[in-house]
Structure 1
């Protein structure tokens, strides 16, 4: 069975990273967790701009993992205006099961959660307000909007039920990808 591609999107502090980590753990060895922030902010030190270098880098990393037989969880804000085309093309290239989830969270809740983060002083609430996107769905077939007010275990169970069986990559696929 082909690997799965799962895309988790939403505003800052919607719970994407936590959910992506839980999903990676649940799907097990042979599941890559590719975070937009890591590529954009840590590797490239790039602002989120249309046509940014991170867009191609994230797509290349996802393609490499999928081609190697690994399941892929992509997580990030991924504003539709900048990432819709890349995500649509990646799913078309993959041809296997691709699932898109938008974690909906209101601005006030996003700001409340953000204030609890260790690095919250680096991004003031006004900046978070400027970044906030209302109902920023991709309008891709099968995209689901999930309430970010639900517990992580509930969201995880919902996504796993939606995915159905996801067999792990073969030991050969895992070894060849390392």
Structure 2
């Protein structure tokens, strides 16, 4: 199925093909926690591509339309998927800036694809933000300005998750949608510490 372009393409369903999983949501919605737990659950040869790391740490860039991080995220996801890793891309990934890039990635991917949106009310994100280290740099007022309600991509099969559920319940919900995923054979098992 095509996600953003006309026509059709198949979504892979073979268990041992690399999966592409997109996890989106507002700040403090639980994306990073979920992505880390899912990466562990999927096993070796699972890449986690974090928008914040590439945008804020690598490029030191603000989230702006046509930002340089958009291409870097796309390149990183393509590389990881291209070498046969299950690939999780996570971040706020606000639709008005990232939708086209994400749709291209979904359309191009040959294996199974999954898109999730963690839906967390504004005041819950503000409450959670108070316990994060980033609170020293980002005020609650700034967090409120960033918040985009129901910022769905609007692609076929997009799943809205109750972001107020526990991390364990959320992981189980994602795993039930993704289905059984075979851990990909690790080509170099000695590299992990």
TM-score normalised by the chain length of structure 1: 0.95
Match among 2, 21, 34 for residue 36 of structure 2: 21
State the number of aligned residues. 175
Ranges in structure 2 where 5+ consecutive residues have no aligned partner: 1-15
- In structure 1, C-alpha distance between the alignment counterparts of 2:97 and 2:122, rounded to whole Å: 21
Tell me the CA shift for residue 113 of structure 1.
0.3
1:97 equivalent in alignment to 2:112: yes
Match among 151, 156, 165 for residue 150 of structure 1: 165
1:127 equivalent in alignment to 2:117: no
Tell me the CA shift for residue 171 of structure 1.
3.1
- In structure 2, C-alpha distance between the alignment counterparts of 1:115 and 1:166, rounded to whole Å: 36
RMSD over equivalenced CA pairs, Å:
1.3
- In structure 2, C-alpha distance between the alignment counterparts of 1:66 and 1:54, rounded to whole Å: 18
Tell me the CA shift for residue 96 of structure 1.
1.8
Query: SS of 1:119's equivalent?
Result: helix
- In structure 1, C-alpha distance between the alignment counterparts of 2:38 and 2:107, rounded to whole Å: 22
Match among 160, 167, 173 for residue 175 of structure 2: 160
Whether the 8 Å CA contact 2:20–2:112 is kept in 1: the answer is: yes
**Of Structure 1 and Structure 2, which has the larger fraction of its residues in helix?**
1
Superposed, which structure 2 residues align to 1:1-178 within 5 Å? 1-172=16-187
TM-score normalised by the chain length of structure 2: 0.87
Tell me the CA shift for residue 121 of structure 1.
1.7
Ranges in structure 1 where 5+ consecutive residues have no aligned partner: none
Tell me the CA shift for residue 119 of structure 1.
2.4
